[in-house]
Amino acid sequence: MSETAMRFDLVISGAGMVGLALAAALAPTGLRILLLEQQALEQSGALDALPSDRFDVRVSALTKASSQLLDSLGAWSIIEGLRAAAYTDMHVWDGMGRGEIHFSADELHEPCLGHIVENRIIHAALLKVVQQYAQIEIMQGVGLSALSAPDAAGGRQITLTNSDIIHTPLLIGADGALSKTRQLSGIGATEWDYGHHALVTTLISEQSHQHTCWQVFTEDGPLALLPLASTSPHYLSLVWSTSPAHARSLQALSDEALGQAITHAVGGRLGDIRVADRVMALNLRQRHAHQYVDTGLA
């Protein structure tokens, strides 16, 4: 071990939603924690004046258990102070048949079934929580460069991309599908392509979304319309899982033509639908690490 190595009780590689949530959960223990993040982090203050007609195209559907977890971390009140769309109902149907199912919060005597929240808002809230703890250090624009084998005590020495050397009893990889932590530790992964892309964007519907999640199973794949938090009950997040070829053909359409295609796919249930933002296609792949825990590593 280098004599100049900085010591931390825990190092988390990756300050996305998972890495930040883990740091927030462990912060009350008093552990000295280092968070490493290759990208620049968006501060929660940047979201204080959110425009009511601009949304992150990446959203998460949070169940009651998820919001309770975020509340236990101190993040849920921050999220609600920014924006979160409660949904009270879910309509799911077969676009090629007559099968349909409806879930309602009223039947469960609950105020809602869950919330749709933009990923950037969840991330910003968790970052704000973590920054309240003096014993947590965040290094931005820095990642892992090298990782030693476990020492006699089971700890790890880490070399960063800025040449800093860190020693820790435990390194946790929360750095995504192409995890540098996993690669440097020599742990393999099995992966395959689902043969589907997720087409995502923000939409405006002619009729109110009714605080409802709408999902139809089309012959081209499942399409979901998720309500977004706004002063207008007409903003929706689109997630359409479909073949790569169909996703490309949809992306090639004009906004008007794509809106018409979505309106047709959902049977006009919300009236005419318009595209309100850029359209992205995300490749859907499965990855499974061959090992999730090793000495001084998780």
Across the chain, which has 298 residues, the per-10-residue mean pLDDT values are: 75 97 97 95 69 88 97 97 96 92 97 97 95 96 95 94 96 95 95 94 98 97 97 96 97 97 97 97 94 95
Query: What is the pLDDT, as a whole number, of residue 40?
Result: 87
Q: What total number of domains does the chain contain?
A: 2
Work out whether strand 100-104 and strand 89-94 pair parallel, antiparallel, or are unpaired.
antiparallel
Q: Which residue among 174, 190, 206 closes a domain? A: 190
Query: What is the pLDDT, as a whole number, of residue 49?
Result: 64
Note the helical H segments in 43-148.
64-72, 76-82, 105-108, 119-130
Structural domain including 24 reads 6-48+124-190
Query: What is the pLDDT, as a whole number, of residue 24?
Result: 98
The C-alpha angle with vertex 150 and arms to 147 and 153, in degrees rounded to 5, equals 140
Q: Which residue among 172, 190, 208 closes a domain? A: 190
- Residue 175 maps to which CATH number? 3.50.50.60
Query: What is the pLDDT, as a whole number, of residue 67?
Result: 98
Regarding whether 91 and 16 lie in a shared domain, the answer is: no
* Amino acid symbol at 36: L
For residue 241, give the nearest of 282, 270, 193 by alpha carbon.
282
